Homo-oligomer: A and B are copies of this chain.
Amino acid sequence: MSDRSIPGYTLGEESIPEPPIGMEEFDRLKQSIMFTEDDEEHLREAGTVLEPQIEEILDLWYEFIGDHEFLLHFFTDTTTGEPDEEYLERVRSRFGQWIRDTCDTPYDEAWLAYQFEIGHRHHRSGKNRTDDVDSVPNIDLRYVIAFIYPITATIRDFLATGDHGEAAVDAMYHAWFKSVVLQVTIWSYPYVHDDDW
């Protein structure tokens, strides 16, 4: 679902290289995470619940980053030493689109390829390129893995605002949890020694 009004968002575009793993290995990864077709359905449902709340969700996540200097650090404009507000804003709109894409299942090859691209955009091999900014060169992988928790746990209250029962909310929540683990797993690729990933 490419949206050309979002600066730097390039899912499905020619510029994105083919993924270094095929759909068979992608399937093994999904199996390790217990990710099934039911989860795909729960995520589509989650998408309808989350869509009207995207700005609120982003407010919460950005607040969490803003509250921790060592996290906000990764958005620093290295020429001024201050947070680069335009950079934060541009990434924010891609982050909103990411919520939509996470719920827009099943995941196809273009989606998979873009996950590797998002990995590069966190890693020194691709950070700052998309927004042409002068910022710190790399987001340390430990923080990216660590964020699995806040990005998962904080979504539950938003999923619970619809008119779904407890069991349905739980199903959407677990599908979300699995997808976040799946994506961060892929994003780790450029950080890791050849053959160790």
- Where the two chains meet, the residues of A that have a C-beta atom closer than 8 Å to any C-beta of B are 28-29, 31-35, 68, 70-71, 123-124, 138, 140-143, 145-150, 152-153, 174, 177-178, 181-182, 184-186, 188-189, 191-193, 195-197
A152: chain B residues at CB < 8 Å are 177
Q: What residues of B have a CB within 8 angstroms of the CB of A153 in the complex?
A: 34, 174, 177
Q: How many Å lie between the Cα of A143 and that of B124 in the bound state?
A: 23
> Quick check: A143 and B181 within 8 Å, CB to CB?
no
Main secondary structure on A side of the interface with B: helix
| B192, A146: Cβ atoms closer than 8 Å | no
Min CB–CB distance A62 → chain B (angstroms):
15
Looking at the complex, which one of B32, B149, B184, B193 makes contact with A192 (CB distance below 8 Å)?
Answer: B193
Chain B residues in 8 Å Cβ range of A181: 145-146, 148-149
Which B residue's beta carbon lies closest to that of A32? B146
For the complex, what is the distance from the CA of A31 to the CA of B33, rounded to whole Å? 25
| Chain multiplicity (copies) | 2
Q: Can you list 6 pairs linking A and B with CB atoms under 8 Å apart?
A: A31-B68, A124-B196, A141-B196, A146-B181, A152-B177, A192-B193
Q: What's the minimum C-beta distance from A186 to chain B, rounded to whole angstroms?
A: 8
Q: Are A148 and B148 in contact (CB under 8 A)?
A: yes
B-chain residues with CB within 8 Å of residue A124 when the two chains form the complex: 196
Q: How far does the alpha carbon of A40 sit from the alpha carbon of B178 in the complex, in Å?
A: 25
Tell me, in angstroms, the Cα distance from A142 to B141 when the chains sit together: 13
Q: Are A195 and B147 in contact (CB under 8 A)?
A: no
